[in-house]
């Protein structure tokens, strides 16, 4: 999609983070993952992340695939570019049930949605708009300099997104299992 106006265009995927003081539009497609879009209205600095799980094993490659890291890195990137923490505003998207997975306890989409709302409340960053939940993937375009978001609900359960999220889910489960096995052994 061509937005004209000389805007820099970026695409981010799971674990991606982008912030800019220059006008830019950033796109991503979300399933059970969540993106937080942060914006400082005074300086027009904005940024976006795309995370898979609220918490996880930081040693498994890309720590920003996990919410706690993705949120902290995003806030710091926006602040480095001139944004001020007390002026930040948020828009949050994702947390859809695009995978047919039975889970014990709260499912990943709900955990992601609860995490991002609680994190932003703790940081006293108001959420101006949100689209969390549902069963369809979302495509978003975030304009970093205005905080405008274009949202498209994608039809059905997108196979490419579902496949990517399933690969990351399997990798995360294996990582947790390995770590659990290592922790059950006592060396003396």
User: What per-residue confidence (pLDDT) applies to 145?
Assistant: 95
CATH of the domain at 38: 3.30.1330.200
Band (pLDDT 50/70/90 cuts) for residue 184 is: very low
Q: How far apart are CA 57 and CA 36, in angstroms?
A: 21
Q: Is the pLDDT of residue 97 over 90?
A: no
> What confidence tens digit (pLDDT) does each residue in 47-71 have?
999 999 888 766 667 788 888 999 9
Q: What is the pLDDT of residue 71?
A: 96
- Whether 103 is covered by a domain: the verdict is yes
> Please, which residues have CB within 8 angstroms of residue 173's CB and are 6 or more apart in sequence?
none
State the pTM of this model: 0.78
* Nearest Cα residue to 83 out of 45, 49, 48: 45
Helix axes 108-122, 67-80, angle to 10 degrees: 40
**Would you say residue 146 lies in a domain?**
yes
State the pLDDT at residue 59.
61
Whether the per-residue pLDDT at 150 is higher than 90: the answer is yes
Please tell me the predicted confidence (pLDDT) of residue 82.
97
> Mean pLDDT across the stretch 85-108?
81
C-alpha distances in Å from residue 80, one per residue of 20, 21, 41, 45, 74: 10, 10, 15, 10, 10
Strands 127-132 and 17-20: unpaired
Q: How confident is the model at residue 93 (pLDDT cuts 50, 70, 90)?
A: very high
Residue 160: inside a domain, yes or no?
A: yes
Q: Compute the average pLDDT of residues 3-19.
A: 87
The pLDDT of residue 164 is above 70 = no
pLDDT, residue 170, reads 61
Q: Is 1 within the bounds of a domain?
A: no
| Domain span including residue 100 | 8-183
pLDDT mean over 30-43: 96
pLDDT for res 182: 47
User: pLDDT averaged over the chain?
Assistant: 83
**Structural domain tally of the chain?**
1
Q: Does residue 2 fall inside a structural domain?
A: no
Is 88:125 a contact under the CB 8 Å cutoff?
A: yes
pLDDT tops 80 at residue 9: yes
The pLDDT value given to residue 167: 62
């Amino acid at each position: 999609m061509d937005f004209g106006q000389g805007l820099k265009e970026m695409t981010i995927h799971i674990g991606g983070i982008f912030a800019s003081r220059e006008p830019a539009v950033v796109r991503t497609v979300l399933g059970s993952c969540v993106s937080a879009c942060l914006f400082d209205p005074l300086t027009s600095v904005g940024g976006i992340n795309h995370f898979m799980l609220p918490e996880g094993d930081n040693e498994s490659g890309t720590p920003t695939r996990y919410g706690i890291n993705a949120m902290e890195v995003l806030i710091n990137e926006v602040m480095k570019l001139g944004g001020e923490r007390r002026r930040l505003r948020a828009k949050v998207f994702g947390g859809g049930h695009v995978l047919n997975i039975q889970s014990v306890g709260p499912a990943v989409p709900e955990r992601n949605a609860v995490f991002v709302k609680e994190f932003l409340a703790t940081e006293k960053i108001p959420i101006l708009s949100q689209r969390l939940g549902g069963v369809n993937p979302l495509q978003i375009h975030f304009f970093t300099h205005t905080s405008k978001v274009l949202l498209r609900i994608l039809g059905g359960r997108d196979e490419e997104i579902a496949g990517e999220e399933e690969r990351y889910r399997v990798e995360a489960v294996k990582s947790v299992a390995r770590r659990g096995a290592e922790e059950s052994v006592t060396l003396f």
